[in-house]
Amino acid sequence: MLLFDEAAVILDDLIEELPEGIYDELNGGVNLIEEAKKNEYGDYIMGLYHNDEMGRYIEIFYGSFAELYGDMDQDEFTEELRKVLHHELTHHVENLAGDRTLEKWDEEQEEKRKYGYVDADSIAFVDDDGTALAPMAAAMLRKYSAGRCEDVRCAAVCLGAFPGKYNADALKAADALDVTMLGAPAPLQARDMVLKDYGAILCMTMDQANAVYTKFPQFDEKIMCLGVTDIKEPFFKRNWGKTAERMKELIEDLVDELCEENN
pLDDT tens-digit readout, 1-53? 789 999 999 999 999 999 888 999 999 999 999 999 987 767 788 999 999 99
Where does the chain hold its CATH 3.30.2010.20 domain(s)?
Answer: 4-99
Helices within 72-215 (DSSP H only): 74-96, 101-115, 133-145, 168-176, 192-195, 206-215
Residues in the chain: 263
Over residues 113-118, the mean pLDDT reads 55
Share of the chain above pLDDT 70, in %: 90
Q: Which of 54-63, 142-151, 216-225, 231-240 has the highest mean pLDDT?
A: 54-63
Position 174 pLDDT exceeds 60 = yes
Summarised one tens digit per residue, pLDDT across range 232-261 is: 888 888 899 999 999 999 999 888 888 765
- pLDDT value at residue 131: 95
Instruction: State how far the Cα of 40 lies from the Cα of 184, in Å rounded to an integer.
Output: 40
Nearest to 39 by CA among 233, 229, 185: 229
Instruction: State how far the Cα of 150 lies from the Cα of 103, in Å rounded to an integer.
Output: 37
Where does the chain hold its CATH 3.40.50.2300 domain(s)?
Answer: 119-262
Chain centroid offset of residue 184 CA: 24
Position 149 pLDDT exceeds 80 = no
Contacts of 145 (CB under 8 A, 6+ apart): 152, 255, 258, 259
Over residues 136-147, the mean pLDDT reads 92
- pLDDT value at residue 109: 63
Q: Residue 5: is it exposed, middle or buried by C-beta count within 10 angstroms (0-12/13-18/19+)?
A: exposed
**pLDDT category of residue 158 using cuts at 50, 70 and 90:** very high
Residues 205-242, buried b or exposed e (16+ Cβ, 10 A)? Answer: bbbbbbbbbeebeebbebbbbbbeebbbbbeeeeebbe
Over residues 51-59, the mean pLDDT reads 94
- In CATH terms, 119-262 corresponds, of 2.30.40.10, 3.40.640.10, 3.40.50.2300, 3.40.50.2000, to 3.40.50.2300
- pLDDT value at residue 257: 80
CATH number of 4-99: 3.30.2010.20
